[in-house]
Amino acid sequence: MSLTHLDETGAARMVDVSAKDATVREAKAACHVAMRAETLALVVAGTARKGDVLATARIAGIMAAKRTADLIPLCHPLAISAVAVDLAPDPALPGIRIVATVRTTGPTGVEMEALTAASVAALTIYDMLKAADRSMRIDNLRVIRKSGGKSGDFEQD
């Protein structure tokens, strides 16, 4: 098997998608930020405005989805038609679970956009809480669902 992002000599290239059909495609990516229980309490407790930690991470994730092709060298620029970033505090971790969903009508999938959105939302949470907790970790970033396109649907935990 060979890698599509390298040419026959092994040089990196942006794969040609000009012959691929534009179809509706969706991808979901997930990860979580693990933190101490006291840190999580700072996010979920208190006034409604404490919601700004999660609101800020959500906006950062949505904006990052649109910057994916700027960040990942061989990604194709594409017209994203929807992005949502869900953030759920989970005392069992303890930490915050993140799921990013991206949709497009285009010739390529949007896994990278969903992974980038989840990743930057997680980094934003880290940034806002790092003064309180230096032991946080961002874990288990992966695609959990993908639909549309020739390679078929895909789902994993």
Q: Which 80-99 residues touch its own copies, going by CB under 8 A?
A: 80-86
CA 14 to chain CA centroid, nearest Å: 21
Closest CA to 85 of 46, 124, 50, 47: 124
Alpha-carbon Rg for the chain in angstroms: 17
Pull the structure tokens for residue 74. 């061989």
One residue of 59, 90, 91, 153 binding its own copies per CB under 8 A:
59
Residue 21 bears catalytic tag: no
One residue of 99, 104, 110, 149 binding its own copies per CB under 8 A:
104
Residues in binding site for substrate: 74-76, 112-113
Question: What is residue 45's three-state secondary structure?
Answer: coil
Pull the structure tokens for residue 62. 């949505």
Q: Which 108-137 residues touch its own copies, going by CB under 8 A?
A: 111-112, 115-116, 119-120, 122-124, 126-132, 134-137
Asked if residue 141 binds its own copies (CB under 8 A), the reply is: yes
Question: What is residue 136's three-state secondary structure?
Answer: coil
Q: Which 6-35 residues touch its own copies, going by CB under 8 A?
A: 6-7, 9-18, 24, 31
